[in-house]
Structure 1
Amino acid sequence: MSTQNALLTILVEKINNDTLVLPTLPAIALKVRKAADDPDINLNAMGDVIGQDPSLTARIIKIANSAYLGRSVKVNSVNQAVTRIGLRQIKNIATALAMEQLFVSKNDLVSQYLRDEWGSTINVVANAMASLQAYVKATKNRELSLDTMTLAALIHNIGVLPILTEAERHEEVFGNPTFLNDAIDKVAGRIGGSIMREWGFGDNFAAICEHWQDLGYIPEKVGYIDFVRLGAALSGKMETQKDAIMNLAVQRGIVENISDLQSDEFAEMRDNAKLIFA
């Protein structure tokens, strides 16, 4: 059996037997999400939870002061930052900021793949966020939130993590990236859906992982998956489907003209979104 088939066979068998080791959400993200779901939580208490993690504290203050929220007056404490962002948004934003912790490995080969995947994911996130901002500005439709969009784009390809973990035992596959890419194409979506359900994120997030590359899956209403696809296409992913994704975006009223996605205004929104994760 070829290395490629061996890796795929192992992955599929573990998926079917429910024995594939799935990543766990970073501890601080779990604490924030649990606190946010407490009906009695207040802004000060949430600030105390976030304050337990100095790195997250610094990043929350940074995002509160960023163009992401469009504010010019600076805040300098976590409580001020949480007040500005709001309890509803802080749950997804804190989770998104903590996600980078998952893209690490002690294995040098895997570590490089994870860094590349994180960089690619951030490009998708930035383009998806900018696309949603442009859509809201043009349509005044505010049914979709930017914080949820950010998290949805970050998790869209999360299924790659267990694949790379399994590949650590078969280092020869790193000599031929085609092996890994084939495994990722075939099972990453299915694994990603399992991770979302394991984390309690629900079917909407699971569907994004499972179907973002499947243009046969088109929800009736415009949703986060539309912007994830558009973000992926603008980031250089899905090259063979790029034209179809762009045409679909126009048909569904996500953009009026493709040229809008090449404007200076769009580039500024995309670059501002990237700075959140810098």
Structure 2
Amino acid sequence: MAGQDSLPLRRLKVFQPLNRLTDDQLVLLASRAERRSLGPGQRVVERGVRDGLEFFLVSGQVELEAVDGRKSVIDAESDKALHPIARLQPRMYDVTAVKPCEFLVVEQDILNQMLRSAPVAQVEMDSGEGTGGEESEEHHLLMEFYSELRSNQLKLPSVPDVAWKVRRLVDREESTAEQVANAVSADPAIAAKLVRACNSPLYRGFSDVRNVREAVVRLGMRTTRQLVTVFSMREVFKTRQAPLQREMEKLWRHSREVAALCWVLADHATRLNPEEALLAGLLHDIGVVPVLVQAEHHSNLFANEANLQHAIGELRADVGTAVLESWSFPPTFINAVRFAEEWQHECPESEPQLTDVVIVAQLHAMIGSSQNADLPSFDQVPAYRRLGEMELNASRSLQLLTEARARVEEVQQLLSIR
């Protein structure tokens, strides 16, 4: 089957990261790849298997089933099909064909080797200083770094234990507030934060709550689940090297600011749950965390700040998507990570989505910063047109956030609870 009826180059270039390869490399890749056809009901990959292959969905539709039973569908015409299917190894999902499917199957080793030898210009490493396409040592190192990430030789951060247990409990209809409170109480630091949050201006009732169970009852199961995840995320933003930890702290501050803006925007301009928006904002750059952790092993390369920022820009969406997939987060959160910095992205759903809120919050967070030079004007961003019935525009959104500044600060204080 290998090499028969090779796909045209324009079709290959649709896939990421194949779009980084030259035409000659793509021709060679196609000759060494396999075209594989499967019918409805046939298994594509099995959970737990490490096969060293990348499956690109050329046509058809597949269903992914996680270990906890959650299912999602990927259609060949969707944005999700731009990347390899269930790319983490060992496989995190059972993947089954729903409709007749065709795949391009590539060995990871072959693809990684080609990516390492891709010319500098293909991966936008030319800094404009006359490299002339020469392959620098930095370029080889960066390609090696990408290869490690794509081959899953890095350790993705895991969901903190308390957050995982609470999410599983709340997802079960029969779970009680007592059971959820017991799970939260297993982590005294998170339990204390939840009680303090419940007594904060955002959630305070006529009287203060005195214990975790009362906090869960007042907040409700869904809000409790989101806040426990929010509070536990602080531990994920850690690395061992001081220079990289400074980057991690900067990332945490930015994520916290975007999260606070998401809470306010969701509360004022959509019917979305503000705590879900808060969490989506906090997680929108989660893909940067593994990049910074992995950068510990490439200190020579990332002594150059430009190289580090380039790697972050190239990988944040892809790695972030992989992290949330491995954490079994729902598609709404995964899309918010994938499209957080794609200003022209337009969600297909009629109602505002978490992605819209994160995009708008990001733009507001970047206004007035050193990052605002290349930002589009508000009226060019589809997410603005979708935020509820407020017909949000530049002046009205700035007015909204100015009026809600006190609320933004309250949310920031919530995220700063120790």
TM more than 0.5: yes
2:282 to 149, 154, 165: 154
The residue type equivalent to 1:176 in the other structure is N
Counterpart position of 2:78: none
Map of 1:185 onto structure 2: 313
Q: Is the 8 A contact 2:226 2:279 kept in 1?
A: yes
Q: How does 1:179-258 map to 2 (within 5 A)?
A: 179-220=307-348, 221=350, 222-236=352-366, 239=372, 240-244=374-378, 248-254=382-388, 255=390, 256-258=392-394
C-alpha distance in structure 2 between counterparts of 1:247 and 1:189, whole Å: 19
CA distance in 2, matches of 1:118, 1:250: 25
Query: Is the deviation greater in 35-44 or in 195-204?
Result: 35-44
Contact 2:357 2:387 in 1 (8 A): no
Deviations 1:120-162 (A, max 9, x none): 11011111111112214xxxxx2x1112111111111101011
Task: Compare the two structures and name the one with the higher helix fraction.
Answer: 1
Alignment-derived partner of residue 205 in structure 2: 71
Higher strand fraction (1 or 2): 2
Aligned match of 1:123? 257
For 2:395, the equivalent position in structure 1 comes to 259
Q: Which amino acid aligns with 1:20?
A: L
In structure 1, distance between residues paired with 2:223 and 2:414 = 15
Where structure 1 has 5 or more consecutive residues not aligned to the other structure, the ranges are 137-141
Identity of aligned residues (%): 22
The count of aligned residue pairs is 272
Matched, 1:92 2:201: no
**2:145 and 2:331 mapped to 1: Cα distance?**
22
Q: Please provide the CA RMSD for this pair.
A: 2.2
Equivalent position amino acid for 1:233 in 2:
L
- What does the per-residue CA deviation read over 1:186-207, in whole Å, with 9 as the maximum and x for residues that have no partner? 1110001011111111322222
Paired residue for 1:106?
240
Q: Does the 8 Å CA contact 2:199/2:205 hold for their aligned counterparts? A: yes
Please report the TM-score for the alignment, with normalisation by the length of structure 2: 0.61
User: Cα distance 1:31–1:16, how it changes in 2: closer, same or farther (>3 A)?
Assistant: same
Q: Deviations over 1:164-198 (max 9, x none)?
A: 11111122344332111111111110001011111
User: Cα 1:74–1:246, aligned 2, differ >3 Å: closer, same or farther?
Assistant: farther
1:36 aligned onto 2:174? no
Q: Which moved more, 1:203-212 or 1:150-159?
A: 203-212
2:197 is aligned with 1:59: no
Counterpart residue number, 2:411: 273
Query: 1:276 aligns to what SS in structure 2?
Result: helix
Q: Larger Rg: 1 or 2?
A: 2
Report the secondary structure of 1:79's partner residue. Answer: helix
Higher relative contact order (CA 8 A, sep 6+): 1
2:27 aligned partner: none
1:250 is displaced (CA, Å) by 4.2
Q: Distance in 1 between matches of 2:327 and 2:288?
A: 16
**Superposition pairs of residues 133-144 of structure 1, within 5 angstroms:** 133-136=267-270, 142=271, 144=272
Bigger Cα displacement from structure 2, 254-263 vs 224-233 = 254-263
8 Å Cα contact 1:124/1:153 also seen in 2: yes
The change in CA–CA distance for 1:153 and 1:215 in structure 2 (over 3 A counts) is same
**Deviation of the 1:49 alpha carbon:** 1.1
Q: CA deviation at 1:54?
A: 1.3
Matched-pair contact (CA < 8 Å) for 1:36–1:88: yes
Structure 1 residues 249, 210: CA separation in 2 closer, same or farther (over 3 Å shift)?
A: closer
**Residue in structure 2 matching 1:166, options 281, 291, 294:** 294
1:72-131 Cα shifts (integer Å, max 9, x gaps):
532121111110111122212211110000011222122111111101110111111111
Give the Cα–Cα distance (whole angstroms) in 2 for the partners of residues 181 and 269 of structure 1.
32
- Answer yes or no: is the 8 Å Cα contact 2:162–2:184 preserved in 1: yes
Aligned to 1:139: none
Distance change >3 Å, CA 3–CA 51, structure 1 → 2 = farther
Q: Which moved more, 1:247-256 or 1:54-63?
A: 247-256
